[in-house]
Amino acid sequence: MNTLAWVLVGLALYWLAVLALDSKGLLPSYVGTQGPILTIHTQRGKQLLDRLAAPKRLWRAWGNFGLGIALVVMVGTFLLLVLQAIAVVRNPPPATAATQPRNVLVIPGVNQFLPLSVAPEILFGLLVGLVVHEGGHGLMCRVEDIEIKSMGLAALAFLPVGAFVEPDEDNRRDADRGSQSRMFAAGVTNNFAVTLVAFLLLFGPVVGSIGVASGAAVGGVMPGSAAESADIAPGDRIVAVGDAPIETNDDLDAALARIDDRTVEVTLAGGDTRTLDRSLLVTDFHPDSPFASVLSVESEDPTTIASINGTEVRTEDDLRRALADRTVARLTTAAGESATGAVGALSIVQADGPSDDAGMPADETVVITEIDGARIVNASDLSTTLDRYEPGQRVPVEAYVNGSAERYEVTLGEGGDGGAIVGIGLARGTSGVTTNSFGVQLYDAEQYLSLLGGEFGSLGGGISDPIVSFLSGVFGVLLLPFASVSLGAIGVTNNFAGFVAWNSGFFVAEGGALSALGSTGLFLLANVLFWTGWINLNLGFFNCIPAFPLDGGHILRMSAEAVVSRLPTDQGRQLTTMVTTTVGLVMLVSLLVMVFGPQLLV
């Protein structure tokens, strides 16, 4: 059974126990039940709220400010969810890990993006969010002279899933719409305020005191690779290759490119050495590759290329030398399977582009093997060769179409960057096949530290406005727990849930005012601020959804009543109900489509 199944079984047993205790009258009077949720009620704290509510003019100004923010977020959330749902229906995206229903739940260990190692920080952030949210409701109740019936905590088993302030409903209905709206908006306003404080501290002194450790950070190891065979694991840091020191990830790539030996010795940060017998592991391939029939990247049975036309190949340099003078080659795998095909840059001819105009079949896959006499072994060769030409030049291009060599005279077009193009969609690697003779996926610790420090905007060229830069930084931090999916377009390959056990060795406490806390204390503080800000921002957005029983639904009703009261109709209540019900149903359908659409519509 997987983790989710065990959680569901545990919740079912817990709920049966609660039902049994409730049926026998054994639950205390201050404990109530709402489905599987236990609510613990108390009257304590009301006097404290009365004292805090004394500067009523100040709190009403804060409430009006928060109400304005809540209305803007409500409209934006509604439009975003509806437009996203329409996009899913019109063009269903492929199902990914981020769209799995289990990953909608913010439960460490169940949600695959939230590791159990940061469960304490997540629970702390949730507790802070619930306290400030419901405390805001309670405080604004007293500011607006709305009586509080009870306050308390809601729990699912031993997990706090909510807090609540229960206003006296008769007294609340007697208050004017402005008072009620400020009261409902107070919770999300406080969540956004906590988010602001947490991220200001995180982006400033905390991340400013953290640096990147030297060496090449191993974020992942490819199954069946030389690195796996040498017992290199995620979290390791390579500090030397042979006698060459390694300070950064780029140093590792450069060192391996200089070494033609098939056996490489590397030194890890702890001083251990590993000897790697390099082999050409296939990491990806295009389904239209001429060699696709004998290739696999499945973790249980990954393909290793053993030879080209009978010549053994174990490194990228071996492969290039074996293919330098051949446009057609026989590839043999370590399992003994062989396939013969054209060797070059696998391309899809774009309709109405330069290659199509020259006679290449539009929307068909071809293998370009030569441009103006220059041998094209892979996609990088094609890009490098085109850099030598200008748009408008006419060049001969050799391409294999359906296994036969053809020559075309192509008049080069102009790309978006002003460079010369041949009008194709280019697959990576050699004939659409990418390989790796080392077998590690490097973890870009510097990029993650930049994102965690609020520098998301700088990845796109920099943002000068400090407010826009801060907001873009917050957006980037929101995406970090599932960065491999959401930020894959900018080269992010690992998820970042904080400084957890396996990645903490890639960072050090250095250079800032808080570095005296040491790595353990500084990383813990960073994790707490990261998750407190992340959860409070999501709580604020979630509660702004204009649907009952969320705060946004109550604010929508107040707003609808205010508008309808000015209309010449005696059916104001029915019209208000129609508006709120319609908006709520649209939101519910949009959420369901976003969560389940990729699985049901593809």
- Segment 125-134, tens digit of pLDDT: 988 998 898 8
Mean pLDDT of 53-81: 89
48-52, 97-101, 351-355, 378-382 — which is least confidently predicted? Answer: 97-101
- Quote the CA–CA distance of 342 and 101 in Å, as a whole number: 43
Model pLDDT, residue 120: 87
Who wins on pLDDT, 450 or 437?
437
Who wins on pLDDT, 278 or 417?
278
Q: Residue 355 maps to which CATH number? A: 2.30.42.10
Task: Among 231, 258, 278, give the residue marking a domain's end.
Answer: 278
Domain extent at residue 373: 342-423
pTM of the model: 0.78
Residue 416, domain member (yes or no): yes
Task: Among 423, 453, 482, give the residue marking a domain's end.
Answer: 423
Total domain count, the chain:
2
116 Cβ neighbours under 8 A, 6+ residues apart: 108, 109
Task: Among 423, 440, 467, give the residue marking a domain's end.
Answer: 423
Per DSSP, the chain holds a count of helices (H) and strands (E) of: 17, 26
Model pLDDT, residue 29: 72
Model pLDDT, residue 345: 95
Question: Is 80 exceeded by the pLDDT of residue 460?
Answer: no
Question: Is 90 exceeded by the pLDDT of residue 398?
Answer: yes
pLDDT band of 230, cuts 50, 70, 90 = very high
Which residues sit opposite 329 in a β-bridge? Answer: 341
Q: Could you read off the pLDDT of 45-58 as tens digits, one per residue?
A: 778 888 888 899 99
Who wins on pLDDT, 184 or 15?
184
- Quote the CA–CA distance of 585 and 598 in Å, as a whole number: 20
Considering the chain, what is the average pLDDT of its residues? 85
Residue 228, domain member (yes or no): yes
Tell whether 346 and 274 lie within a shared domain. Answer: no
Question: Is 70 exceeded by the pLDDT of residue 196?
Answer: yes
The residue to which tokens 């947490």 are assigned: 198
Q: Can you read off the two tokens belonging to residue 583?
A: 């908006």
CA angle 391, 396, 399 (to 5 degrees): 110
Most confident of 160-164, 255-259, 286-290: 286-290
Residue 167, domain member (yes or no): no
Residue 172, domain member (yes or no): no
Mean pLDDT of 355-382: 94
Cα distance between the two ends of the chain: 27
Question: Is 60 exceeded by the pLDDT of residue 241?
Answer: yes
Model pLDDT, residue 282: 95
Model pLDDT, residue 189: 93
Who wins on pLDDT, 256 or 29?
256
Residue 582, domain member (yes or no): no
Query: What proportions of the chain, in percent to the nearest 5, are helix, strand and coil?
Result: 50, 20, 30
List strand residue ranges (DSSP E) for 431-518, in order: 433-436, 440-442, 507-509
Who wins on pLDDT, 102 or 183?
183
Model pLDDT, residue 368: 96
Q: Are 330 and 338 in contact (CB under 8 A)?
A: yes
The residue to which tokens 């005279």 are assigned: 409
Mean pLDDT of 562-589: 83
Model pLDDT, residue 46: 76
Residue 82, domain member (yes or no): no
Residue 147, domain member (yes or no): no
Question: Is 60 exceeded by the pLDDT of residue 464?
Answer: no
Mean pLDDT of 465-485: 77
Residue 384, domain member (yes or no): yes
Nearest to 478 by CA among 393, 433, 535, 545: 535
